[in-house]
A and B are shown apart, each in its own frame.
Chain A
């Protein structure tokens, strides 16, 4: 379980986190969604016990003291935390030793994780020879070596190509079925966020809203219709009741029946509308609705 209560972090004058609270129940996969610079990485550093918050408290696996949290916590950083010059096994052995594991117990766990993550046969290759996707697999295998209760992931698929990303997320999904593991993951990617049980949306250091992906998108309701137009002000003046938001060359409505509304607008304003997109609301729309900003 991860419980965060009113954590505030200041970097000099700038407030990076402002009374942030969230709760991830045991076994839950909890996503922290927000744009870059929204405070996700600061929150990650606090929970990873690398940064002491200026105010507030947090509990991980029932512990509040960093010294007691660390043995229960697995951490996967956004940047590589493997020694590139060492082989996969050498990296895993060092990690195991740091968590007090050695001998046959450590060897057994390394062997099991290498098989599970399909790394067998490559264990004696230096990490610098591995592809990005493979290196990420080693990162997560390494983080699971001491069988943590909570796994903390910071933008885990950054820098991976689409195929490797999908593989990686499938792996994580499979992993959760096999073990009792609470996962807390920061992300700015929708497909990652959609796989989470629950989400906390973070913007400019504050919690904007939270809930299951279904709850959040239901909150927007109906359809989202976006028109491409050179004159968004004119469309807005004609249809103010839809509570539209506008950009330089677009206007966006949340409406119960998108297709009918799109046809209606196009007919009423001939020549003004250049393109139409009608879709079910996504997490992006949820975020947009609460902040007026895009992910």
Chain B
């Protein structure tokens, strides 16, 4: 069967659904902006908290898109997708691709806030951040897909998200400077993929990046590697 056509059908559907509930955009963009303005102003450092707001936007959107997967699979649209001849890899790619693209676009909306800061906002920096956010969106949607596919209820998904994804975001360098934290926290951060995404965003927005942060090459390699691992699990898990 036609692989590309199946991917396109499922990606298109994500956008059609999204367009049907545009209020979602406001919600996903508003809360990271609120976080940024309130926490940033509280600490008197809008620049530091901006990259965290960007990854938060992408994270929320990716999570929300995948939450629908749980209900969809038991009773809903996905049932008829699973009995169709569409290859399993095309199903994963279509669903994840659409959701990642949506998450990425919302991240770009929040990125416009950079013009209100003294962070770098030349074309090269913006292109670099856009690339970093795309990698982050892909990783988070694939990871959420794998988790959502294994769970039978949205409550369970909430629990996993609160226990894994939100702490991972906190430990990414979004709200405190790794260089100033205890050694064990720094150790945890090294094995946290979101730390690499946060470092990558920061590398393009801050001249010279953050002190002691992984290089752009290492960060990209970690993000791509984790995404591919998760994608393999996603295709295997899609039954």
Specify whether A and B are partners.
yes
> Is B6 within 8 A of A97, CB to CB?
yes
A127 to B76: give the CA distance in the assembly, Å. Answer: 12
B21: chain A residues at CB < 8 Å are 85
B13: chain A residues at CB < 8 Å are 83, 86, 90, 94
> Is B17 within 8 A of A86, CB to CB?
yes
B contacts with A: majority SS: helix
A50: chain B residues at CB < 8 Å are 79, 82-83
Binds B, one of A66-74, A186-194, A233-241, A255-263: A66-74
CB-nearest residue of chain A to B84 = A98
A126 to B21: give the CA distance in the assembly, Å. Answer: 12
> Is A98 within 8 A of B82, CB to CB?
no
- Most chain A CB neighbours (cut-off 10 Å) among B20, B76, B80: B80
Say yes or no: is A204 at the interface (Cβ < 8 Å to chain B). Answer: no
Contact of B85 among A48, A82, A98, A143 (CB under 8 A): A98
CB-nearest residue of chain B to A82 = B77
A100: chain B residues at CB < 8 Å are 1-2, 5, 85
A102: chain B residues at CB < 8 Å are 2, 5
> Interface residue tally of chain B, by bracket?
20 to 34
> Is A83 within 8 A of B83, CB to CB?
no
> Is B85 within 8 A of A70, CB to CB?
yes
Tell me the B144-177 residues at the A interface (CB within 8 Å): none
- Most chain B CB neighbours (cut-off 10 Å) among A49, A82, A86: A86
Closest Cβ of chain B to A154, distance in Å, is 10
Tell me the A240-289 residues at the B interface (CB within 8 Å): none
CB-nearest residue of chain A to B4 = A97
Say yes or no: is B34 at the interface (Cβ < 8 Å to chain A). Answer: no
A48 with B83, Cβ < 8 A, contacts A71-B1, A94-B10 known: yes
B17: chain A residues at CB < 8 Å are 83, 85-86
Closest Cβ of chain B to A62, distance in Å, is 16
CB-nearest residue of chain B to A83 = B77
A142 to B83: give the CA distance in the assembly, Å. Answer: 13
Contact of B16 among A49, A79, A85 (CB under 8 A): A85
Say yes or no: is A201 at the interface (Cβ < 8 Å to chain B). Answer: no
> Is B5 within 8 A of A86, CB to CB?
no
Chain B, residues 65-98, CB within 8 Å of chain A (1/0): the string is: 0000000001111011111111000000000000
B85: chain A residues at CB < 8 Å are 67, 70-71, 98-100
CB-nearest residue of chain A to B85 = A70
Say yes or no: is B8 at the interface (Cβ < 8 Å to chain A). Answer: yes
B86: chain A residues at CB < 8 Å are 98
Closest Cβ of chain A to B74, distance in Å, is 8
* A contacts, CB < 8 Å to B: 48-50, 67, 70-71, 73, 75, 77, 79-83, 85-86, 90-91, 93-95, 97-100, 102, 126, 142-143
10 interchain pairs, CB-CB under 8 A = A81-B79, A81-B80, A90-B16, A94-B10, A94-B12, A95-B84, A97-B9, A98-B1, A98-B5, A143-B80
Sample of 7 further A-B pairs with CB below 8 A, known A97-B9, A143-B80: A48-B83, A81-B76, A85-B21, A86-B16, A98-B85, A100-B2, A102-B5
